[in-house]
């Protein structure tokens, strides 16, 4: 039986299967994007697929910034919020 990769949400610290979480990535070019495939190159951090974790984290973005090892700008936070909320709406 193959073992499923586990990751933890940077906001609530809940450990779940990797495919149950949303991945945010800092690409090698320094761009912060939502990674729906989970395979983009770069430093990644994970958030739960619920509105509470996303909104709580994107208000401050402190834990996400720490996980990505990059301070986030207001514009990056707004873009991330938009793409993450769209992702949840699709599910």
Domain with residue 28: its CATH number is 3.30.1230.10
* pLDDT at position 89: 87
What CA–CA distance (Å, rounded) separates 85 from 89? 6
19 falls within a domain: yes
Give Cα 29 to chain centroid, integer Å. Answer: 18
Whole-number percent of the chain with pLDDT over 70: 100
73 falls within a domain: yes
Number of domains in the chain: 1
* pLDDT at position 85: 92
What residues contact residue 38 under an 8 Å CB cut-off, 6+ apart?
Answer: 18, 19, 23
Give Cα 75 to chain centroid, integer Å. Answer: 16
pLDDT in tens, 3-58: 899 999 999 999 999 999 999 999 999 999 999 999 999 999 999 999 999 999 88
46 falls within a domain: yes
* pLDDT at position 1: 83
54 falls within a domain: yes
83 falls within a domain: yes
What's this model's pTM, rounded to 2 decimal places? 0.91
56 falls within a domain: yes
Neighbours of 63 (CB within 10 A): 17
């Amino acid at each position: 039986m193959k073992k499923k990769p586990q990751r933890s949400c940077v906001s609530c610290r809940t450990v779940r299967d990797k495919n149950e979480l949303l991945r945010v990535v800092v690409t090698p070019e320094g761009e912060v994007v939502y990674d729906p495939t989970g395979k983009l190159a770069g430093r990644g951090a994970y958030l739960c697929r619920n509105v509470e974790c996303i909104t709580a984290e994107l208000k401050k973005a402190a834990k996400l910034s720490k996980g990505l090892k990059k301070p986030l700008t207001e514009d990056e936070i707004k873009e991330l919020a938009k793409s993450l909320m769209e992702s949840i709406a699709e599910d």
